């Protein structure tokens, strides 16, 4: 199509604008500074004419200023507090621990009021041990070696309760062969402990020992039963050469001097043993041996039999077979002494046909290593029990049954 064929377009004359007053600025022909969101065909003034948001902007600015003022004040207060606060800001907790009745803490809380400290003084020094109530009328069980020096010196024995009240104790009776004693104080409603069944104790059972080691009253330690039927022999300088033979419960609960006579309790709080001895490798405070995790307790079944006799008669008896053993025989086995008097006339051993020189190899199927093992095994029984002894005479091994009788 040629230029001649282009149709002319009529352009209307533009209206004549009124003359701009001298005070007004001339309209510039350069591009405007119109924001990108406003069309160039629109007047900037017409686009931004609505000024309604102005008030809203003022409100936001006021709240913002207020908030900033509050924040600034708070920060200033914190800074000021930090500058003058000398506390360490350690994290603390006010949560209450729920201790079950069968927890160590729960058992200790129930048993501790029944455990006492026993003190005595002689010309050679003072002794401290432990004990516990076995009857409401003031009977207390303890070890003989705790009070023996005071008994022989005829000095006072003091019992201190958990509430720090003190009483003078009387000796009801004591048994050197089992290292047991019973005391009594003048009270009528003592918190007696429940005596359990030591025969039902198993290795690994949890236990708690309570007493006054080194005079530290109310000390609680815990552990397990490490072994049963441990033959333990204890001696005392104050007895006429007589030793105590214990078929002991072994525990790793810490037991130290002063724990002697205190209770060893099971997970129910029942007494299963009387803490009596420890094995030690050396000395600690005041030259006394300390715990190495080898503690021994008299089984309560044995202890309560002797305690019952002491309370009823003031004396007690232990089972015997009526023979004397050779303490120098190294074993294996326990040898009847090569003396004519070694066999008690009319006693169980004599009736069973045992003779001096016979070597006892086992009792009730339990092997015997040395003489102490046999004595401990016999004393773990009660008077009237029937036992079986395996013995060797020359090259012949035999077995015999006999019934235990009471010692004189």
What letter would DSSP give residue 179?
T
Which of the following is catalytic: 127, 179, 252, 358?
179
| φ, ψ for residue 14, nearest 5 deg | -65, 145
Which residues, at least 6 apart from 56, have a Cβ–Cβ distance to it below 8 Å? none
4 is catalytic: no
Q: Are 253 and 284 in contact (CB under 8 A)?
A: no
How far apart CA 18 and CA 16 sit, in angstroms, is 6
Which residues, at least 6 apart from 232, have a Cβ–Cβ distance to it below 8 Å? 245, 246, 248, 276, 277, 296, 376
305's enclosing H/E stretch is: helix 300-313
**How is 216-273 classified by DSSP, letter by letter?**
-TTEEEEEEEEEEEEEEEEE-TTSSS-EEEEEEEEE-S---TT-TT-EEE-TTS-EEE
186 is catalytic: no
Pairing state between β 366-367 and 359-363: antiparallel
Q: Enumerate helices (H) and strands (E) in the chain, giving the number of each.
A: 7, 20
Query: Is the peptide bond between 110 and the residue preceding it cis, with omega within 30 degrees of 0?
Result: no
Which of the following is catalytic: 198, 260, 276, 291?
260
Of 260, 268, 267, the C-alpha closest to 129 is: 260
**Residue 236 structure tokens:** 């005392």
326 is catalytic: no
Which of the following is catalytic: 120, 130, 145, 380?
145
Which long-range contacts (C-beta less than 8 Å, at least 24 apart) are formed by 93-96? none
| Active site positions, annotated | 145, 179, 260
């Amino acid at each position: 199509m040629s230029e001649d064929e282009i149709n002319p377009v009529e352009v209307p004359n533009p209206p004549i604008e009124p003359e701009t007053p001298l005070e007004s600025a001339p309209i510039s022909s350069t591009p405007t500074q119109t924001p990108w969101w406003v069309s160039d065909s629109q007047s900037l003034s017409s686009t931004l004419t609505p000024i309604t948001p102005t008030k809203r902007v003022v409100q936001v600015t006021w709240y913002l200023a207020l908030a900033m003022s509050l924040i600034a004040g708070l920060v200033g207060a914190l800074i000021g507090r930090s500058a003058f606060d000398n506390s360490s800001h350690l994290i603390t907790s006010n949560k209450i621990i729920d201790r079950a009745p069968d927890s160590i803490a729960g058992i200790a809380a129930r048993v501790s009021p029944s455990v006492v400290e026993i003190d005595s003084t002689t010309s050679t020094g003072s002794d401290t041990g432990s004990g516990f109530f076995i009857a409401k009328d003031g009977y207390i069980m303890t070890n003989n070696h705790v009070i023996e020096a005071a008994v022989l010196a005829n000095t006072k024995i003091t019992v201190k309760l958990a509430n720090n009240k003190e009483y003078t104790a009387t000796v009801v009776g004591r048994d050197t062969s089992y290292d047991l004693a019973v005391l009594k104080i003048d009270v009528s409603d003592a918190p007696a402990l429940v005596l359990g069944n030591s025969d039902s104790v198993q290795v690994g059972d949890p236990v708690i020992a309570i007493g006054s080691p080194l005079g530290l009253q109310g000390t609680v330690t815990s552990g397990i039963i490490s072994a049963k039927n441990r033959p333990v022999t204890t001696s005392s300088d104050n007895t006429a050469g007589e030793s105590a033979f214990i078929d002991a419960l072994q525990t790793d609960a810490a037991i130290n001097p002063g724990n002697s006579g205190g209770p060893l309790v099971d997970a129910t709080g029942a007494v299963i043993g009387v803490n009596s001895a420890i094995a030690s490798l050396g000395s600690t405070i005041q030259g006394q041996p300390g715990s190495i995790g080898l503690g021994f307790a008299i089984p309560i079944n044995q202890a309560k039999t002797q305690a019952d006799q002491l309370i009823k008669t003031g004396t007690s008896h232990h089972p015997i077979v009526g023979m004397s053993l050779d303490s120098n025989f190294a074993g294996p086995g326990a040898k009847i002494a090569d003396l004519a008097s070694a066999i008690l006339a009319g006693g169980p051993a004599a009736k069973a046909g045992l003779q001096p020189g016979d070597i006892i190899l086992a009792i009730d199927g339990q092997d015997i290593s040395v003489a102490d093992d046999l004595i401990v095994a016999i004393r773990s029984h009660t008077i009237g029990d029937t036992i079986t002894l395996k013995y060797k005479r020359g090259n012949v091994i035999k077995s015999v049954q006999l019934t235990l009788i009471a010692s004189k």
